[in-house]
Structure 1
Amino acid sequence: MRTSAPVSAHVRNLGILAHVDAGKTTLTERFLFLTGATHKRGEVHDGTTVTDFDPQERDRGITIFSAAVSCEWAGHRLNLIDTPGHVDFAGEVERALRVLDGAVAVFDGVAGVEPQSESVWRQADRHGVPRIAFVNKLDRAGADLDTAVASLRTRLGTVPLPVQLPLGREDAFTGVVDLIRMRAYEWPDGAAAGAGPVEGPVPEALREEAARRRRALDEQVAELHPEALEEFCATGALSERTLVAALRGLTLSGGATVVLCGSAYRNRGVEPLLDAVTAYLPAPADLPPVRPDRHPADPAAPFTALAFKVGVTPTGRMTYLRVYAGTLRKGDTVLDTASGRTERVARILRVQADRTTETALAGAGDIVAVVGPKTTRSGATLCAPGAPVTLEAPERAEPVVSVAVEARRGTDTERLAAGLARLAEEDPSLVVGTDPESGQTVLSGLGELHLEVTVEKLRRTHGLDVVVGRPRVAYRETVGRGVTGLTYRHVKQDGGAGQFAHVVIDVEPLAEPRGADPRGAGPLAESLGEEEHMADLVFRSAVVGGRVPPLFVRAVEAGCRDALAEGPLGGHRVTGVRVTLTDGSTHVKDSSELAFRAAGRFALREALRASEMTLLEPVAEVTVTVPEDAVGTVLGDLAARRGRVTGSTTRGGTAVLTATVPLAELFGYASRLRSRTQGRGTFTTRPAGYAPAG
C-alpha cells in the first residue's frame, strides 16, 4: 500500500502584496535571511535579491514576475510568493492569489493605502484570501502608523487592529511595543545582522499610551468576536491566549485585519511579523475544500491540483502547481481536464526562485513545479484520471494596449512567431493576433510597460531583433440608444434538412451612459461603473407560451454573444448591452439550435447597426506625486491630455494629484513628467474602466 505525504498544521502558503515600491521584495529578502534560507541579505538597489532574479527585474528595480520561495520559521514551513506591485503585471498577482491561503499586505508608512495596494486588496477580497497588514518604512520622514491605519479603514473598508506601538518616530524609530504581550522589542543600530531584537519592559514614557491602546484593542476585538466578548464582559479585559485566538479567528473570517509595523530595510519589526504569519494566517487544512466534493487538504483523497504558472526555460518546461488534495509522485500519470489529455509527471521540484531541488512526492497543501506535462496551460486542472474534476481558473484581464511587432530580418519571421507563442504560453495576459487590414502581427497586453518587458524578453531570451510600432489602445463600442421589436427570420433551404428560426429582440444599454463631460474637460471615468464595464451582455427571455423552447433560447443567447465580437462603428468589441428576446416562432422540422444561434447572431448585428452606438476608450486613474512648485505645470499637462483632476492633497511640501486620463494619452508620460519636474515627479496608474471617447 502506498503511503501519503502528511498534511501539517505547520505549513503556510502566503503571498506578499503591495503597491510598487512599498518594500515587498525587501521584506521577502529579510524573511529569507532571518529564517536561514539565505546567508546574505539581498538588496533591490544592488540587484542582489533572490526573488527578483530576472535581468529585467534587476535592471528596472521592480518585481515583474511572481517568484516562489520556501523557508522555515518556528517549526513552520512558509511557501512564499513575492508578487509584482505594478498595475501592468496584475495578471501575475491574480494567478498567485488564486492558489494562496493567506497574504501579508505591505503599506508605505508615509503614503498609506496607494492605488495599486487598493487594487490587489480587492483582488484578495474576491478570492477570499485572509490577510494581515504590515506598515513598512516607519523610519522615513513623514511616516505615521496611525495615519496609515486610518487609510486602511477609509480606503479599504476593513477593521484594522494595530497590535503594536512604534518606539520612536522617523529616523528615531528603533522598535515596537507588542500590545498583546506588553513587551518592548528594539533593534539597536550597529547590531550584528540577524541578531534579533532586544526584549524588555515597555518604556516608562509609553506605558500609559500602551495601556490605553491595549484597552482599545480588547474592546474592538470583544465587539467583533463572541467568545472574546464573553470573557471581556466577565473580567473587563482579554487574556493573551483569548486575544490571540480571537485575532486568528477574525483574520480567517475576514472580520478584521491585524496590523503590524516596522522597517524591512533597517531590519526592524520583521521577526514579529514572521511570528504573526504563523499565528494568524491559515494552514491548508484550516480552509474549506476547494470544491464541495473534495476533502480539504486530504493526502489520501484523489489527486487534485491547479496549474497557476508555466515557465519555459532552456532546460525544459516547468508547470507550477498548487496541490489541493491527494498525493503526487514522480512518474504518476495525471489528467489535464482543460485539454482532456493525460500527462506523465517526470520530475517534481521544490522551487527557490530560480533554483530547484528534486523531491519524490508532493502532498495536499504543497506548492511545487513539475516537469513532464507538455501542453498544460496556466489555469488548467490536473487530477487523478479516475476522479476528473475542474477547478475555477484565475480570471484573465482583457488587454488594453497593442503594438505591431515584426522581425527586422525576414528570415526571423518564424522564430518571432515561435517566441511570441512561448511568451503567451507563459503569460496568459498577453494576446497575439494578426491585423486583418495590414497583416501585421499584433501583441496586446495590460499596459505600455507590460509590452516593453515582453519585447525586451524577445530580444534578450530569444535573440530576436524586432521592430515595434506605436502603441494603440483597445477601444470598445456600446449602445447609446437601442431599438425595440427588431424581427429576424433565418430561413435556409438547400435541398436537405432546412433551417428555420424566427426571433424578435429588444436592445438597450445595460446602463444609461452619462456621456462626456459637457464642459469639454475630457471623459468621465464614472461613465460606466465597475459592474457595467465588466459585463458585455445581459440576456433575458420574455417569451410566453413556449413559442421559443428553452433549448433554443440558450442558442439565441449564444448567437448574441457571437455578435459582440465586432461592432458597427469600427469592428471593436461591443460591451454593456442588454438584449431581451420578446417573441419568436419555430418550424416543426427545420428548427434547430444551429438555426437559432445563427438567428441570434444576425439579429443582434442588425439591431446594433440600427442603434445609436457610442465609442468607448480605456481610462486610467493616475496618481501623480510632485513638489508643490511643480503642481501648476503638471495640472496643465494633465488637462492637455484630456485628464480630469479628481483629488489633490499636500503633505510636507509634496503634492499628490489624482486624475482620470484616457489611456491613449499616457504613452510617453513618464519621460514628460520627469522633464517637467526636473526628475522629481513620479506617477502610478490603475485601470478605471471605459468612458465615451472624447
Structure 2
Amino acid sequence: MQSRAFSIADPNIMRNIGISAHIDSGKTTLTERILYYTGRIDEIHEVKGSDNVGAKMDSMELEREKGITIKSAATYCEWKDHHVNIIDTPGHVDFTVEVERALRVLDGAILLVCGASGVQPQTLTVDKQMKRYSVPRVIFINKLDRMGADPWFCITSVKERLGLNAAAVQVNIGIENGLQGVVDLVKMKALYFEGENGDNIVEKEIPEDLVEMCKEKKLELLASLADHDPEIEEYYLNEDINIPIDVLKKSIRQLTIEQKFCPVYMGSAYKNKGVQPLLDGVIDYLPRPTEVKNYAFDIAKNNEKVMTEIDNKKPFVGLAFKLEESQFGQLTYVRIYQGKLKKGATLNNTATKKKVKISRMVRMHSNEMEDINEAGAGDIFAIFGVDCASGETFCDQTINWSMQSMHVPEPVMSLTIKPKKTDQLELFLKALNRFQREDPTFVVKQNMESEEIIISGMGELHLFIYCERMKREYDVDLIIGNPTVNYRETITHKATFNFLHKKQSGGAGQYAKVIGYIEPKDQSGEEADLSCQFMDKTEGQNIPNEYIPSIEKAFHECTKKGPQTGYPVVGVNYVLTDGQTHPVDSSSLAFGLATKYSFREAFQKAGPQILEPVMNVEVTVPSECQGSIMGQLVRRRGTVTNTQTKTGLFILNADVPLAAMFGYATELRGATQGLGEFSMEYKMHSPVGEFEVADVIEAYKKKRADKDEE
C-alpha cells in the first residue's frame, strides 16, 4: 500500500472511461498495455500468463487461474497531461452487472471488437448498456494479428448489427502475422510501433500500395461525418481529403460526444500495436466530465429533476456504485457528480438518512490503494468504513438529492446450497451477506417450507464462481443442489371475478366481496413489462378506502408464488371495479382473503401460461462441424436466428431455452474435439412448449409432495 500526495484533478483534463466488450476480446490485455505506456506499471504481464504473475487488473486468484475477468477493477493513469480513470469490466454475460454499474458512472468508453469474430452476443449487450446510459464511445478493433482478422468486416458488422454510424480513422498496415502498424487517416501518416514492447512510435509516409485505399477510406470517414456537419459536407461533396486536421478533429469530437458517430481504431494489444494512438483518441474525442449532463432528484422538492454541475464550489453529490469487502473493511467506490470531498468530512446518505464520516479516502490501482486527502468534481475514488449499499447517494448536509440508480437484470438460474458442517454456518451466512451487498444480481432467499437456502444469479458460471469464492475466501465446504431454471407464470387473456368470502363461526365473522378482472399487460414495447400492477377503479363507497391497501397487498403476495409452478407471476394487472361490505363482519383480513381466492379463481380462467428464460446462444466451431452443431441445438429446442461462415469457422446464433442448455459445454467439446466454444446471454422469457408444460408442473407437484413427506 502506497501513500502519495495528490492534488485535485482539473475536470477539463480528466477522462472517465470504461473498457467493455464480448468475453475474450482482449479488454484486460489492452488495459495492461495502457498502464504500461502511461508508466503505471514497469512490466507487461499476460492474462493467464506463463510467468504465473497475470495481468495487473485481474487481481483475484480465480481470475488469473481461469483467464477471465470476474469483477470490474478501477485504476487511473496520466497520458499527455490528462488524468484518466479507467474501469476494466468483465466480458462474460454472467457478470453483466459489473458492466452495468461501470457504465452508469462513466463519461465515455472504449468498445472492443475482436478483429476475427466481429460483433458477438455480448457486444450487443454492452452496446445496449452504453445506449441506456448515453455513453459516447470509440471503437478499437483488436486482435488484427489473428488468423482470419478483417477490420472492414468488423466495421460492417458494427454498422449493421449495432446500428452505429462508425467509420475508420485508421487503416491497418498488414494483417494477421504481417501486421506492422496503422495509417492515421486524420494526419495521413503511417505509424509503426518499434522496440520489444512497441514503445517507439515511428511516423513515416503512407506505403505506396496503401495510398489509394487510404484516400478511399478517408472519403468514407468524411461521408459518415457529412450527414451531421455542413462544414465537412462541403469537403466531401468536392471529394477534397485535404481537410485541416483541427477542423476534422473538432467534427469527430463533437459528433462522438453527441453519439452521432463512433471513430474506429485498429491494432493488436497483445502484439503492442495501436494502443498509444487509441489513448490519443480517448483524449481527443471522448468527453470531459464538464461536457456530460447528469441529473439528480431533489427529495426535498418532491423528487424534482435537477442538473448536477462539475464544480468544486457547489455542495457535494456522489454515487456509491460498487462495493467490495477488503481486509480493511468495506471499500465503497464513489463517483463525484458535484462539489469536492475532503477527508474527515461528514455526509448524508440520502437513502438511509444516516450521517457518515469519511475517515479514509483512496485511489484504486487494481487491488492496490493509494491514500488521498481530497477528491474533486468528476473524479472516481474509494472510501473506507462507510456502511451503505450499491447505488446509494451521498450528499453535503446542505442538500438532499438522490442520483438515479442503475438497471439490475433479473436472475435466471438458481441453486440450493448449504454448508457441509453445521459449525461453518456463521461463516457461510457472512459470505452470503457480503456477496449480496457487492452484487445486486446475486440473490439469496430461503424457502420457508423446506428451509433450504436458494442462491440465484445470471448463469452457471456466476453461481459457480461464488461457490468457489466461499470455499477459498471463507474455507466453507458446500453441498450444492441441482441447478433450477427460474420459470415465470402469466396469463393470455382477460378474465373477470365476482368473489364473495363469507365465514361465520361464532362471534365476529368474515365478509368481503370483490368484483373486477385480471388482464395481461400490453407487451408491444421494445422491452417486456414483467411487473404486476394493482388498479383501483371502484366508484362510490361500496369498498371503503381503508380496505384498499389490504387488497393491493394480498394481490402482490399472490404474484410471488404462481398457482401452477410456485414461480412468480409476471405481466398481470388486477383491476378492482366494485365490491360489497358487511357493517360488522368486514375487515382487512377478510378482504385480503377474498382477493387471494378471487385471483386464483380468475387466473385459471385467464389462459394461464408458463414462461421460461430463453438465451441468445452463439456457437463458433470449425466449418466441418456445421451439421452436427445445428442438430445439437435443434434437439435442445433451439431456433436458429443467424449463421455465417468465415475463414474456416462456422458461427451460429440461436435462441435456446435455458433449461435445455445444461451440459451443453461437454457435448460441444465432444463433437468438436475441444475446438468449439459458445457463449450465451439472457434474451427474454418465452412460453414453455406444450410438451414441456406438463413436465414443469409435474416437477413442482413432486417437489411439494416430497416436502410434505418430510
TM-score by length of 2: 0.88
Out of 9, 14, 21, which is 1:11 matched to?
A: 14
Q: 1:564 aligns to what SS in structure 2?
A: helix
Q: 1:390 aligns to what SS in structure 2?
A: strand
CA distance in 1, matches of 2:568, 2:649: 41
Closer, same or farther in 2 for the Cα pair 1:602/1:416, shift >3 Å?
Answer: same
The answer to whether the Cα contact below 8 Å between 2:224 and 2:261 also exists between their aligned partners in 1 is no
Out of 83, 87, 100, which is 1:94 matched to?
A: 100
Aligned residue in 1 for 2:383: 370
Aligned residue in 2 for 1:113: 119
Aligned residue in 1 for 2:204: 200
Aligned residue in 2 for 1:408: 420
Closer, same or farther in 2 for the Cα pair 1:234/1:632, shift >3 Å?
Answer: closer
How far apart are 1:636 and its partner, in Å?
A: 2.9
The answer to whether the Cα contact below 8 Å between 1:530 and 1:689 also exists between their aligned partners in 2 is no
Aligned residue in 2 for 1:662: 657
How far apart are 1:257 and its partner, in Å?
A: 1.1
Matching residue's letter, 1:37: R
Closer, same or farther in 2 for the Cα pair 1:332/1:591, shift >3 Å?
Answer: farther
CA distance in 2, matches of 1:587, 1:281: 67
Out of 310, 323, 326, which is 1:313 matched to?
A: 326
1:572 aligns with 2:567: yes
How far apart are 1:385 and its partner, in Å?
A: 2.6
The answer to whether the Cα contact below 8 Å between 1:539 and 1:557 also exists between their aligned partners in 2 is yes
How far apart are 1:580 and its partner, in Å?
A: 4.0
Matching residue's letter, 1:673: L
Aligned residue in 1 for 2:632: 637
1:304 aligns with 2:310: no
1:37 aligns with 2:33: no
Q: Which moved more, 1:227-236 or 1:206-215?
A: 227-236
Q: 2:227 aligns to what SS in structure 1?
A: helix
Matching residue's letter, 2:226: A
1:681 aligns with 2:676: yes
CA distance in 2, matches of 1:558, 1:613: 22
The answer to whether the Cα contact below 8 Å between 1:196 and 1:271 also exists between their aligned partners in 2 is no
Closer, same or farther in 2 for the Cα pair 1:421/1:496, shift >3 Å?
Answer: farther
Matching residue's letter, 1:197: I
CA distance in 1, matches of 2:580, 2:678: 57
The answer to whether the Cα contact below 8 Å between 1:505 and 1:603 also exists between their aligned partners in 2 is no
How far apart are 1:576 and its partner, in Å?
A: 2.1
Closer, same or farther in 2 for the Cα pair 1:380/1:597, shift >3 Å?
Answer: farther
CA distance in 1, matches of 2:686, 2:407: 23
Out of 524, 527, 533, which is 1:531 matched to?
A: 527
Q: Which moved more, 1:664-673 or 1:410-419?
A: 664-673
Aligned residue in 2 for 1:352: 365
Q: 1:142 aligns to what SS in structure 2?
A: coil
Matching residue's letter, 2:448: P
1:272 aligns with 2:285: no
**Residue by residue, what CA displacement relative to the aligned partner does 1:35-82 show, whole Å, maximum 9, x if unpaired?**
001111121131521111100100100111000010000111110000
**Residue by residue, what CA displacement relative to the aligned partner does 1:102-139 show, whole Å, maximum 9, x if unpaired?**
10000011111000011011011011111111111111
Aligned residue in 1 for 2:300: none
Out of 434, 437, 446, which is 2:458 matched to?
A: 446
Out of 345, 351, 371, which is 1:338 matched to?
A: 351
The answer to whether the Cα contact below 8 Å between 2:48 and 2:65 also exists between their aligned partners in 1 is no
**Residue by residue, what CA displacement relative to the aligned partner does 1:570-625 show, whole Å, maximum 9, x if unpaired?**
22111122444444579999999999888766644443244321111111111111
1:240 aligns with 2:245: yes
Aligned residue in 2 for 1:524: none
Matching residue's letter, 2:285: Y
How far apart are 1:558 and its partner, in Å?
A: 6.2
CA distance in 2, matches of 1:435, 1:553: 29
Closer, same or farther in 2 for the Cα pair 1:258/1:590, shift >3 Å?
Answer: farther
Aligned residue in 1 for 2:3: none
Matching residue's letter, 1:255: K
The answer to whether the Cα contact below 8 Å between 1:567 and 1:608 also exists between their aligned partners in 2 is no
CA distance in 2, matches of 1:281, 1:597: 55
Aligned residue in 2 for 1:324: 337
Aligned residue in 1 for 2:160: 154
The answer to whether the Cα contact below 8 Å between 2:167 and 2:220 also exists between their aligned partners in 1 is no
Matching residue's letter, 2:342: R
Closer, same or farther in 2 for the Cα pair 1:286/1:213, shift >3 Å?
Answer: same
The answer to whether the Cα contact below 8 Å between 1:7 and 1:299 also exists between their aligned partners in 2 is no
Closer, same or farther in 2 for the Cα pair 1:302/1:680, shift >3 Å?
Answer: same
Aligned residue in 2 for 1:518: none
The answer to whether the Cα contact below 8 Å between 1:558 and 1:600 also exists between their aligned partners in 2 is no
1:623 aligns with 2:626: no
CA distance in 2, matches of 1:219, 1:426: 46
Unmatched 5+ stretches in structure 1: 513-527
The answer to whether the Cα contact below 8 Å between 1:308 and 1:320 also exists between their aligned partners in 2 is yes
CA distance in 1, matches of 2:428, 2:87: 31
The answer to whether the Cα contact below 8 Å between 1:287 and 1:296 also exists between their aligned partners in 2 is no
The answer to whether the Cα contact below 8 Å between 2:412 and 2:486 also exists between their aligned partners in 1 is yes
1:479 aligns with 2:491: yes
CA distance in 2, matches of 1:204, 1:628: 36
CA distance in 1, matches of 2:402, 2:254: 30
**Residue by residue, what CA displacement relative to the aligned partner does 1:609-663 show, whole Å, maximum 9, x if unpaired?**
4432111111111111111222233233223322232322222222112222221
Unmatched 5+ stretches in structure 2: 1-6, 297-304, 693-710
Q: How does 1:576-655 map to 2 (within 5 A)?
A: 576-583=571-578, 603-655=598-650
How far apart are 1:164 and its partner, in Å?
A: 0.9
CA distance in 2, matches of 1:226, 1:602: 66
The answer to whether the Cα contact below 8 Å between 1:479 and 1:611 also exists between their aligned partners in 2 is yes
Q: 2:17 aligns to what SS in structure 1?
A: strand
1:431 aligns with 2:440: no
The answer to whether the Cα contact below 8 Å between 2:219 and 2:236 also exists between their aligned partners in 1 is no
How far apart are 1:229 and its partner, in Å?
A: 4.0
The answer to whether the Cα contact below 8 Å between 2:165 and 2:224 also exists between their aligned partners in 1 is no
Q: 2:492 aligns to what SS in structure 1?
A: strand
How far apart are 1:537 and its partner, in Å?
A: 2.8
Aligned residue in 2 for 1:63: 69
Closer, same or farther in 2 for the Cα pair 1:503/1:431, shift >3 Å?
Answer: same
Matching residue's letter, 2:527: E
Aligned residue in 1 for 2:302: none
CA distance in 1, matches of 2:660, 2:391: 33
1:21 aligns with 2:16: no
How far apart are 1:355 and its partner, in Å?
A: 0.1
Closer, same or farther in 2 for the Cα pair 1:479/1:235, shift >3 Å?
Answer: closer
Q: 2:404 aligns to what SS in structure 1?
A: coil
Out of 147, 153, 177, which is 1:141 matched to?
A: 147
Closer, same or farther in 2 for the Cα pair 1:586/1:130, shift >3 Å?
Answer: farther
The answer to whether the Cα contact below 8 Å between 1:295 and 1:301 also exists between their aligned partners in 2 is no
Aligned residue in 2 for 1:220: 224
CA distance in 1, matches of 2:238, 2:535: 56
**Residue by residue, what CA displacement relative to the aligned partner does 1:521-567 show, whole Å, maximum 9, x if unpaired?**
xxxxxxx98622x4223566666789889999888666544432121
CA distance in 2, matches of 1:437, 1:10: 58
Out of 110, 126, 138, which is 1:132 matched to?
A: 138
1:172 aligns with 2:178: yes
CA distance in 2, matches of 1:583, 1:656: 57
